[in-house]
Structure 1
Amino acid sequence: MTAAASLHTLNLGFVALTDCAALVVARKLGLDRELGLQFCLQRQPSWSAVRDKLMSGQLDAAHALYGLVYGMQLGLGSPQCDMAILLTLNQNGQGISLSPNLAQQYRQGLSLRALSQQLGRPLVLAHTFPTGTHAMWLYYWLAAQGIHPLHDARCVVIPPAQMGDAMQDGVLDGFCAGQPWHALAQQRGVASLVADSAVIWPDHPEKVLACRRELAQQQPELAGRLVQALLLASHWLDQPENHAQAAAWLAEDDCLGMPVETILQHWTHSDAASLRFCDEGRVNYPYLTDGLWFLQQYRRWGMWQGGADQALVAAVNQTLLYEQAARACGVPLPAAGARHSVLMDGSRWPSPADGAPCAGALPHAAH
């Protein structure tokens, strides 16, 4: 039997975004093969395609929006499917852009409500998936500025690759998505970035490696090797000297298919809110509080009526499997209770026991 024939093939889905980089790097560096795996990377046209192919079994695992996984787990907008998050692939790296004219006025101090009044209609803003991260960042950003996203604005779903054309056609006033789509829209002169997602929630979780829970439960050793390969790739990605090579791989036609310079434009700035892939494992750990935050936001916006279900989150976020994989490849584990954030409206997460507001007070809709 040949060495290639002895490898366990895994079909891994991804959407053309900079933060799919760990999957691409693991394949290019041969980290999958070193661990007895063969990654078959399959680019998907939309997050809906990722969801459907995970559910059907056409994909073994995928680069996925954090909230997509919880939407599937809860059966929000699709049949219910027991899901698992094996690790977080990145923090930060998303943003909100507005049309150049609106962006200029916004930066000059005109409020979102004033911009809407000037237009004589609600702002039309796009995100990428109903339960996804971009929807939650956009909703939070609007609400923190007194705009109820379900009543005072019109929020629509568009695949990220189509957002630039929609801006050019005047269909949208703005959008929330990942890079490099903001950089590309700015180069085309159809949009301008007004908010980095790290302003909304510093070091927020973004994409995860998602799979059906049966893979984690029935083949934990296989799932652990998959996590190890991506952890090693994530650590490599955080080294600045590797960014240019990673961008060159991402730029290839079967991945993002765009210039290296566009990919690097909003990746390599050195501030603390930049796109991060590992940070000595602090990025990758599947924190239970991150999952609870998404459940809280679904309740906030009337998408789900359940409670703060610790058991549900513990079943989705595979902390034990992750910890075993991290130890096996020498990636440190974060200190217990080390994850705390202050969001853009001043609320703290996890919310402290002293009665401070939890993440996000519901704004009143304008009438």
Structure 2
Amino acid sequence: MTKSRYEITAGFLPLLDSALLVVAKEKGFAQTQQVDLTLVRERSWATIRDKLAVGHFEVAHILAPMPIACNLGLTAPAPRMIVPMALGLGGNAVAVSGGLWWEMVDNGATGNLDARSSGAALRRVISQRIGDRLRFGVVHPYSGHNYELRYWLSASGIDPDREIEIVFLPPADMGDALKAGSIDGYCAGEPWNTFGVLKRGAHLATVKAAIWKSSPEKVLGVNGRWGDSHPEALAAMLRALYNASVWCADAAHHEELAVLLSGPAYIDKSVEWLRPAVTGELRIGGRYTQTVKDFFVPNAKAATFPWKSHALWFYTQMVRWGQLKHTAPHQHVAGNTYRPDIYRSALKTLGLAMPAASSKVEGALRMETPVGSSGMLTLGPDGFFDGTLFDPDHVDEYVASQKQS
């Protein structure tokens, strides 16, 4: 066996989208790259952030907006963080209580996970609940969950600051809080939506892949100081994770992936809870299932590429919801948190097709589209459900338009 040259400790939360880290270790992709990878399970994103800050972790499975928030000084202790790789696309859903779901059905919800019809139905329910605000849970203020829930609500005509209440809970607590009546719905990653459906009477209202197709969720957060001083180790880690993403994407491995993730060192829950999201055969409520083939995308559509346009969209949401002011220096910090240059340098030896650009107009691709001279890379569709576009070259205009919406 090849002796490992690099020792790397990675923090993770027990979620579906830790899959690339788990597979890199368990299937030997890290070892092949001479990485001795230690995985440490944590309960909260704050702990992940703090342990990155003090050097207990070199890298971590982390919320895609959190490194941006750290670099902007919005959360402390705040390590300087870089994001050289995404850990897949999609993976979240919005679950609601059974009672709220049937109110939504009475107001036009169709049960097909469509973001537009379910949002319109929720708006009608809220208009009928004078003085009785609904409460939704998300996992952290600086999370894709918070921003995609707010985007969905706002584009559906619901003011997420005035017409509902948003609270913050660990993902593992969401289903229990729903059953207890402490919250009426939540936006979380898997397996906690499936758990809510199977064990707590929840129903899926919509999914991340319907709110914003091909949208980012978790990324590899890297302590900036460590990454700067250990470029070869970081490159080896990225190659291991990319090879793990290829393995995860193969349908022939889906059952084994669900079993791996369910193990006691990782998610430590029933395979029954993992299988739906891994296969895309989602349990949406009661005995009903629905196929969402792009629910979680570990490799296709440049799923591991750290697009600067993703970083800048998260930045615009921080501005939109009053977490910081829009300034040119803030925008610069946000955009430069994501590092496609490191990704390209690390993976060039693998001979894979990579995006030539570091940003793209989000929402512009209405269908799967081959890109590049070779046509080997396919992107999209990547549209927002309300048909809007985000052009990273026109951030000022986008921020101004959101203030008016």
Q: Please, which moves more after superposition, 172-181 or 323-332?
A: 323-332
Q: Which residue of 2 aligns with 1:17?
A: 15
Distance 1:257 1:54 in 2: 24
Q: Does 1:296 align with 2:307?
A: no
Distance 2:398 2:176 in 1: 39
Shift in Å, 1:151: 1.9
Shift in Å, 1:307: 2.6
Output the amino acid matched with 2:28.
G
8 Å contact kept, 1:68–1:129:
no
8 Å contact kept, 2:80–2:223:
yes
Distance 2:130 2:55 in 1: 46
TM-score, length-scaled by structure 1: 0.91
Q: Which residue of 2 aligns with 1:202?
A: 213
Q: Which residue of 2 aligns with 1:315?
A: 336
Q: Does 1:278 align with 2:287?
A: no
8 Å contact kept, 1:347–1:357:
no
8 Å contact kept, 1:326–1:333:
no
Distance 1:247 1:296 in 2: 35
Shift in Å, 1:330: 2.8
The residue correspondences of 1:104-115 to structure 2 (distance < 5 A) are: 104-109=102-107, 111-115=121-125
Q: Which residue of 1 aligns with 2:155?
A: 144
The residue correspondences of 1:1-367 to structure 2 (distance < 5 A) are: 6-109=4-107, 111-116=121-126, 117-118=128-129, 120-269=131-280, 271-279=292-300, 282-307=302-327, 309=330, 311-336=332-357, 340-341=362-363, 342-350=383-391, 361-362=402-403
Shift in Å, 1:314: 4.6
Question: Aligned pair in 2 of structure 1 residues 358, 343: CA closer, same or farther (>3 Å)?
Answer: farther
Shift in Å, 1:152: 1.7
8 Å contact kept, 2:82–2:224:
yes
Shift in Å, 1:69: 1.3
Question: Aligned pair in 2 of structure 1 residues 275, 310: CA closer, same or farther (>3 Å)?
Answer: same
TM-score, length-scaled by structure 2: 0.83
Question: Aligned pair in 2 of structure 1 residues 323, 122: CA closer, same or farther (>3 Å)?
Answer: same
Segments of 5+ residues of structure 1 without an aligned counterpart are none
The alignment-based identity, stated in percent, is 29
Shift in Å, 1:48: 1.2
Output the amino acid matched with 2:387.
G
Distance 2:130 2:99 in 1: 12
8 Å contact kept, 1:299–1:305:
yes
Tell me the secondary structure at the aligned position of residue 12 of structure 2: strand
8 Å contact kept, 1:349–1:358:
no
Distance 2:47 2:270 in 1: 25
Output the amino acid matched with 2:163.
D
Tell me the secondary structure at the aligned position of residue 248 of structure 1: helix
Instruction: Report Cα offsets for 1:149-182 as digits up to 9, x if no partner.
Output: 1222110110000111111111010000001100
Segments of 5+ residues of structure 2 without an aligned counterpart are 109-120, 281-290, 364-382
Distance 1:120 1:306 in 2: 34
Shift in Å, 1:226: 0.7
Shift in Å, 1:85: 0.3
Question: What's the Cα RMSD here?
Answer: 2.3
Tell me the secondary structure at the aligned position of residue 156 of structure 1: strand
Distance 2:52 2:136 in 1: 28
Question: Aligned pair in 2 of structure 1 residues 316, 35: CA closer, same or farther (>3 Å)?
Answer: same
Aligned length: 360
Output the amino acid matched with 1:344.
F
Distance 1:277 1:122 in 2: 37
Output the amino acid matched with 2:310.
D
Distance 2:219 2:55 in 1: 18
Q: Please, which moves more after superposition, 90-99 or 144-153?
A: 144-153
Output the amino acid matched with 2:239.
Q
Q: Please, which moves more after superposition, 87-96 or 332-341?
A: 332-341
Distance 1:314 1:22 in 2: 24
Q: Please, which moves more after superposition, 34-43 or 189-198?
A: 189-198
Shift in Å, 1:316: 1.3
Shift in Å, 1:213: 1.1
Question: Aligned pair in 2 of structure 1 residues 32, 76: CA closer, same or farther (>3 Å)?
Answer: same
8 Å contact kept, 2:309–2:362:
no
